[in-house]
Amino acid sequence: MKKSLIVVIILIALLLIGCSAVNVDDTEQTQQTAQEPAPAKRAERIDVEPAEFEAQMNGNYVLLDVRSYDEFDEGHIEGATLIPVDELAERWSEIEEYDKILVYCRSGNRSVTASEILLDEGFGEVYNLLGGIGAWSDYKN
C-alpha cells in the first residue's frame, strides 16, 4: 500500500512539474511576442472627388501636379507645385515639410502612381483627385 501511495505522489509531483514547465515556456513566448514591435502600418491613399479635394486645401498642405511640364504650362490648379511623376522618386524631399499632399494629374492615373510613391516614402496624408484636372475643371465651371 505504501508503495502505491508513493508512486501516486511521485506521479502527481511529475505532473505538476511538467505543467509548470509548460506555463513557463508559454509565459516566456508571450513576453517575447509582447516585446517585439508591431510592424508599422502604411498609410493608404485617400481618393476624393473635387469638392472634398478642395475642402482639404487647408493647414500645412501642398497641391502637387504630377503631369508633364508642357501639360502644366497649358494650365494647372492655382498654387500647384509641379513634380512630374517620373521625377517624384528623386524629388519627394522637396515636399516633405508638408503634412498633407493633394495630388492630381490629367485623368487620375499618374496621380495614383505618385500617391503610392509618396506613401512608400512615409507620407501620411495623401489625397488623390479622382478624375484629375478634367474633373476639377468640370467642378469649377
Q: Give catalytic residue positions.
A: 105
Q: DSSP string spanning the chain? A: -HHHHHHHHHHHHHHHHHHHHHHHHHHHHHHHHHHSPPPPPPP--EEE-HHHHHHT--SSEEEEE-S-HHHHHH---TTPEE--GGGHHHHGGGGTT-SEEEEE-SSSHHHHHHHHHHHHTT-SEEEEETTHHHHHHHHH-
